[in-house]
Chains A and B, each alone.
Chain A
């Protein structure tokens, strides 16, 4: 039986590469029976989605507001000017 330490490691790995079938089945069985690892899995997936999420497709929608995770519009223009030189 897979330990919780191994199960969480595999949950994380599944976000980076496809797990072999046998491993995937073992992990799924563990998650079905273990609420703590199930939560871990749900939570880290959710966090990654949130970190990747808001920028996609919202370029125009929030262009009025400065996003601290993006280049400022003025710097963006300055870089483009530097590249045209």
Chain B
């Protein structure tokens, strides 16, 4: 039985002189603990709260992983969704590139062209927004388990800028083998890619962390079902992402972003608004990402895939803003064409018939621009086939 002792406790360090007005002493009941058991409790028993917490946390984390498809549907990893969408079945023609491809190429317009003497029924656009040539190479590895007959790389100057290090590729597209090869091929960016690759692997170790945004969007959808209008912004985002996830999974990769689809660059200019900054061409220099373009060429040659580069159109303002960068980029394209025998299709504004009204901003085409460019690309590829 615990023993009860009622007394006024002494301060731990008794003051020799109390202050003018000492705080009132509190009368407390001290309960003396019973004699400790002869055999002290084991580690697990002593630390049961912490152990239980750790076990429950791991179990919860695993449980979250069982519903990965649900979370993915509510917040798709765009890179993964696109490469998986492409890899779902063999493709005749695959377009690859950054956001200019994602926003500017409508595979439905291209489908049906003749490639290698046969009609290309299945066309997919793997537009990896914010990516670099290094990322697009890894995107092709994941997206094309069976090589297409024609691979079209919609290239632009920012893809080759070695000042750009974009972590999304290492996060979503690369394997340990890819990391090893990257470090050998581009040692100058080896430290950066290793850091981001490991960070990504660490982030993916916990399903709770990995799918947190999908869970958030799912929760917003469910909360809105129970209490309509309780979280309007999150619900709007959730609906948009879910729609996008479905379109990426079942479509041909052309899922234009809402803002770009209807935006008009001429309207922005007429309103006197400054186009947003375009930092992707800052500190422009090339050579390192370019190594992956050579790798892409090798990959195509080994698999009998025809590789075509399309120099994607951009606004005149963007070219005027970074003349040196565009000059270096175009030199590189000419070099690839002459030295490596790569086919480069130059989709200039004049050739396609694009004006500011076909762009949503400095570099992205709107829906009208995409339709125009896609039609022009179809014609160019058909002419090539002939």
Whether A and B are associated in the same complex: the answer reads no
